[in-house]
Chains A and B, each alone.
Chain A
């Protein structure tokens, strides 16, 4: 029995699912995800959490996190504006839906609008890198945030904008159950897209730009083109996430797309693992699930000591912060890296050497 992976062709080395086991597991995961909504109510009742809602949010955020990971993890450009770009997508979808556009047209339009806005704010990336770029995109966040709040005739201002539920043909996605399959579809699409783009010429150019932009330029990578392209694709994805979110929550207001969301997106990919497809997924699952799980002890304790709820609510935020910090101290490479370590350990167990 081989205790490692041996590939004899480049094709095999580059394959997405290199081993039979992995294929079996992926099929199992696929089956689980497709059948999950049918028994989700039981799980919800048992856990005391609306798991279907949780899954839907996870799927939506995965689309956006993949986008940011492409920009930050693969191309090495920090963006603190992705929360606002998500808002651009959400508002575009919402406004177009209210104008009577069908879902299948409004959603791509949301992505394209976000991509356009993202590329405009990505222009400084030619000159700016690292922290400077982060500040430039932070400006984007503030500008867009201000526009969303104060352009009331378009966005409904702080009272928000009501969005009709998505529908394709006679199928309406107006409940968690129906929406689950839609969101799952987009999450899978985005994952496949990210996985594949990183294996292409374009993807390698992104990584080259990230690792050493000077060398990349020397070997003929057009820096400006790839930087802007990375901004475009990444904002497109986060715009799609915003559009989906608008159709899911059915009400959007500026309160959601603040800097906090941008930071949260960054936290997702850092906790999950920069420059890793699995990383964005793990990061999203972690960041979306943890606050919900932290609610459980608070609710349980409230049954016994009703007065404690007020104290516990404030504690929840703190505990959340502390857990994230602990994570970054002990696993700076993210959950994906930890997963690889664990897997490698078991692969060689008990004959590790």
Chain B
């Protein structure tokens, strides 16, 4: 009798001990980041932001007891490696949401994501991804590259530019917005010079810039990452080019003034989908605290916002009792004018338009620091969904 009692007591004790574990469900989130690959220079900060975001929202317990579990992995910007990791996340970890990275791999995974109904947040703001008819499960948080390049052309035109040139690496990310940029430049009546290819790991851009000098453009678009952008800017200063540079969002950050020095001042203008790290906006306090004492860049803010929007979607999906891929997708599509505390423009997704927003800021460099030149806004036109 006593033995039976003991066993029962033990069983009850065990059950009690494990109850919190059983109740706290884990929501696994796959993470594809580039740490060691060609875009690792900006990828590191992005990955760190996602990791910090996971910790922050778990501490705030926003999902009513459910815990986020980010499974971060480095795929070194290799598409096959991304496919391998994707298969692991799908079959082994059974995730229904992934925080992804580059343009090439995000596009490569599109068919799989749609087939498996896994929500895919990416750090690639490729305009093609914003058409839910073609890519119902793809989401991102910043102004698309195509919109950014159109805004850059408008800004250049406003500054009195007549001639533009496009400089980009031979990568999906670099090449992605170029057709949209050229199309819009033509519409604005700008004269387009020959393209220049500068690779992400370039340490010299002299030949390309000398080539460009013959055309002598007023403005040039740079579609690289920060290190290659710094190389271009420095070489442009060295050869006394009067050209000003409009830089896509992965090539302009807090490291650029450090890498390019004085050359960046008055010459480099970046398209900023999110506020620079440490900017004076209400949402930034938590971000800075989460980053600890390490100085970081606006790429950290980007992934933070990406996690923030994902959490918002998860909250809604949970309230609807549909914590799965289709449930999260439907929940995200109800998000309207979501306030990120000024970290980026208010975010809206609908079932017919996955463009998060169409406004951003243009940043410049002064005294080794980023300052805001201007807020710009592109009208949300139906014709531009999906490109």
Chain A residues proximal to chain B, CB less than 8 Å: 41, 44-45, 48-50, 52-53, 57, 149, 157-160, 162, 176, 249-251, 253, 255-256, 295, 298-299, 302, 306-307, 309-310, 313-314, 316-317
B108 CB contacts on chain A under 8 angstroms: 160, 251, 253
In the assembled complex, how far is the CB of residue A214 from the closest CB belonging to chain B, in whole angstroms? 43
Which listed residue, B87, B104, B111, touches A176 by the CB 8 Å rule? B87
Q: Cβ of A249 and Cβ of B83 under 8 Å apart?
A: yes
Does the CB pair A158–B92 fall under 8 Å? no
Pair B91/A44 contact, Cβ less than 8 Å:
yes
Given A310-B47, A313-B36: A159 touches B172 (CB 8 Å cut-off): yes
> Which of B71-79, B216-224, B236-244, B280-288 lines the interface with chain A?
B71-79
* A27 vs B91: C-alpha distance when bound (angstroms): 30
Q: Which of A160, A298, A309 has the most CB of B within 10 A?
A: A309
User: Which of A48, A250, A298 interacts with B92 by CB under 8 Å?
Assistant: A48
Residue B107 at the A interface, CB < 8 A?
Answer: yes
Q: Are A295 and B84 in contact (CB under 8 A)?
A: no
* Contact call B107/A160, Cβ cutoff below 8 A: yes
User: Would you call A255 and B175 a contact (CB within 8 A)?
Assistant: no
Contact of A251 among B36, B70, B83 (CB under 8 A): B83
25 contacts between A and B (CB under 8 A): A44-B91, A45-B92, A48-B92, A49-B88, A49-B92, A50-B92, A159-B107, A160-B172, A162-B111, A250-B112, A251-B79, A251-B111, A253-B108, A299-B71, A306-B54, A306-B72, A307-B48, A307-B51, A309-B47, A309-B74, A310-B35, A310-B51, A313-B36, A314-B74, A317-B36
CA distance A118 to B259 in the complex (A): 44
> Closest CB-CB distance, A251 to chain B, in whole Å?
4
* Count, chain B residues at interface, CB 8 A: 34
Select one of B54, B71, B73, B79 contacting A255, CB under 8 A: B79
CB pair A158 B171 closer than 8 Å: yes
Q: Which residues of B contact A159 (CB under 8 A)?
A: 104, 107, 172, 175
Does B204 sit within 8 A of A, measured CB to CB? no
- Decide if B342 is an interface residue (CB 8 Å cutoff): no
Q: How many A-B residue pairs have CB under 8 A?
A: 90
Measured between C-beta atoms, what is the minimum distance from A111 to chain B in Å? 20
Chain A residues whose C-beta falls within 8 Å of the C-beta of B92 in the assembled complex:
44-45, 48-50
**What 5 A-B pairs come out closest when comparing CB atoms?**
A313-B74, A313-B35, A251-B108, A50-B88, A306-B51
Chain A nearest CB from B241 CB (Å) reads 27
Contact: A256 with B79, CB < 8 Å?
yes
Known contacts A158-B175, A253-B79; A50 and B84 CB within 8 A of each other: yes
Chain B residues with Cβ below 8 Å from A249 are: 79-80, 83
Instruction: Verify if B312 is at the interface (C-beta below 8 Å from A).
Output: no
Is the beta-carbon distance between A253 and B51 smaller than 8 angstroms? no
A176-B87, A316-B74 given; name 10 further pairs at CB < 8 Å.
A44-B92, A159-B172, A162-B111, A253-B79, A256-B79, A306-B54, A306-B70, A313-B74, A314-B36, A314-B74
Interface check B117, CB cutoff 8 A? no
In whole angstroms, what is the CA distance A162 to B115 when docked? 14
Q: Which residue of B lies closest to A318 (CB)?
A: B36
Interface residues in B2-51 (C-beta closer than 8 Å to A): 33, 35-36, 44, 47-48, 51
B91 touches A52 (CB 8 A): yes
Chain B's closest residue to A256 (CB) is B80
B residues 43-101 with Cβ under 8 Å of A?
44, 47-48, 51, 54-55, 70-74, 76-80, 83-84, 87-88, 91-92
Q: For B107, what are the chain A residues with a Cβ–Cβ distance below 8 Å?
A: 159-160
Residues of chain A within 8 A of B104, CB atoms compared: 158-160, 253, 255
- CB nearest to A254 among chain B residues: B170
Nearest CB in chain A: distance from B291 CB, A = 11
Residue of B nearest to A56 (CB): B87
Report the separation of the CA atoms of residues A342 and B276 in the bound assembly, to the nearest whole angstrom. 60
Within 8 A of A (CB), among B255-269: none
**Complex alpha-carbon distance, A50 and B111, angstroms:** 20
CA–CA, A122 to B74, complex, Å? 37
Partner of A310, one of B44, B84, B111: B44
CB distance from A71 to the nearest CB of B (A): 24
Contact check: which of A50, A157, A255, A306 meets B87 at CB < 8 Å?
A: A50
The winner among A149, A307, A313 for most chain B CB atoms within 10 A is A313
Distance between Cα atoms of A76 and B347 in the complex (Å): 61
The answer to whether A160 touches B54, judged by C-beta atoms less than 8 angstroms apart, is no
A314 to B43, CA, bound (A): 12
User: In the complex, which of the residues A157, A251, A295 has the most CB atoms of chain B within 10 Å of its own CB atom?
Assistant: A251
Q: Which residues of chain B have C-beta atoms less than 8 A from A45's C-beta?
A: 92
Instruction: Find chain B residues with CB under 8 A from A52 CB.
Output: 91
Partner of A157, one of B51, B73, B77, B175: B175
Min CB distance A123 to B, Å, is 30
Contacts of A160 in B (CB 8 A): 79, 104, 107-108, 172
Quote the shortest CB–CB distance from A98 to chain B (angstroms). Answer: 13
B307 shortest CB reach to chain A, Å = 13
Q: Measured between alpha carbons, how far is A162 from B87 in the docked complex, in Å?
A: 17
Chain B residue nearest in CB terms to A163: B111
Q: Which residue of A lies closest to B35 (CB)?
A: A313
**Residue in B closest to A54 when the chains form the complex, CB atoms:** B84
